[in-house]
Structure 1
Amino acid sequence: MAKKSNRFSISPLALFFVKVGVIYAAWNLIYDYFILPHGGLDTFFSWTGVKLGRMGLSLLGWDALSHERILWVFGSQGVEIQNGCNGITLFGLYAGFIIAYPGRMDERMIFLASGILLLFVVNVIRIMVFALSVYYIPQHWETFHSYASTIFFYPVVLSLWYLWTTRSSKAGTISFNA
């Protein structure tokens, strides 16, 4: 029996990219119109990241100070972690990919939560490095700040995505053959 062709069918790979786009767009709308105006979640991640950054720098021997969103090594101007610079938007991008890619729901939720936790830790390290860069190389702050997300976040996000796709594929749940 011949298989009927549906001219409106979409390949699994294209469907995946559509899902990622829709999830990421929805996350941005939720963030821009609900989370950001309220400010509570941004404040929590910014203040917590700064406090943990201060603790990390102090533990490593630097004389670090913090107040709310500002972290500095004693003798420098310090850095302010503003909304949009605290990693929340990247959490949404990461989550969109994990949610859109097939896999078992229980594994997906564990992988999603642990990945966001890892990204938060990476963000704390980034905040610490920001404070040190303002202390040691303030003349290069703008350049460093411009490329910091690429240097710190994207290798981690890409590695997590790769790990998720290979893990899901080994479970035998994935097929992008059209």
Structure 2
Amino acid sequence: MKKIRLLFNNIPLPIRLFLGKAFLFFVIWKLIYSFFLFDSQVVDNFLTTHVGEASVKVLNSLGSMSGFTAINEIVQEPHYGEFQAFNMSVIYHNGERILNIANACNGLELLVLYVGFIVCMPSSFKRKLLYIVIGVVLLDVVNILRCVGLIYLREYFHAYFDFAHHYVFKIIVYSSTFILWVIFSRKIQLKNESIQVG
């Protein structure tokens, strides 16, 4: 216990403050999501519908491609050994089902992760608000383009779909989040250390 306390005390105060705020933010978010948002699915359903409809608009505007539609449906899928109903934005191409966009793919967790980092870092309210708005919009666009890419691959280059879904697009999305964090962090002064991050 003494070693843990000593190790903790050796961590610079600004980092301890950041970790404390981040932990508190995470706990509060999980409580709000678990007790108020999960059952109603209001936020998830809105985002899932938005991502599906926006993806279809992008695809239908790409030259010769058209005939894509997004329809909200309740889909029965296996979950921990039994079938459960999930609300999804189902993408069709000329009446044929191409892809299900589930609530887990709507980008909500990623947006909360991004916002949490910005909120917990020391900076002015105005700067935080600016980066939150710009970052949320950019990450939403990146997630929509990720879904567009997946739909396109599923329809035209099916052999590459699984690899892109599990690796390529995840790397792109998380790299985008990390780059936004780095840009935000570059001009932050740590209070107890006269060091400029970046």
Q: TM-score normalized by structure 1?
A: 0.82
How many pairs were matched up? 168
Please name the residue that 2:163 is paired with: 143
* Greater length-normalized contact order (CA 8 Å, ≥ 6 residues apart): 1
| Post-superposition offset of 1:140 | 4.0
Cα 1:93–1:176 shift into 2, 3 Å:
farther
Structure 2: distance between partners of 1:96 and 1:146: 25
The yes-or-no answer on 1:177 pairing with 2:181 is: no
Structure 2: distance between partners of 1:115 and 1:18: 23
Structure 1: distance between partners of 2:107 and 2:117: 16
1:53 alignment partner, one of 31, 52, 55: 55
1:67 alignment partner, one of 71, 91, 109: 71
> Which digits, 9 at most, give the CA deviation of each residue in 1:118-177, with x for residues without a partner?
11111111111111111123344333322255223111111110111113x2xxx42463
Unaligned stretches of 5+ in structure 1? 1-6
Unaligned stretches of 5+ in structure 2? 1-5, 73-88
What is the root-mean-square deviation in Å for CA atoms of aligned residues? 2.4
2:100 alignment partner, one of 46, 69, 80: 80
Please name the residue that 2:131 is paired with: 111
| Post-superposition offset of 1:81 | 1.2
> Which digits, 9 at most, give the CA deviation of each residue in 1:93-127, with x for residues without a partner?
10111000000011111211221111111111111
Q: TM-score normalized by structure 2?
A: 0.75
SS of the counterpart of 1:37? coil
Greater helix content:
1
SS of the counterpart of 2:104? coil
SS of the counterpart of 1:81? strand
Greater strand content:
2
The yes-or-no answer on 1:101 pairing with 2:121 is: yes
Q: After superposing the two structures, state which structure 1 stretch, 23-32 or 99-108, moved more.
A: 23-32
Structure 2: distance between partners of 1:82 and 1:33: 20
Please name the residue that 1:41 is paired with: 43
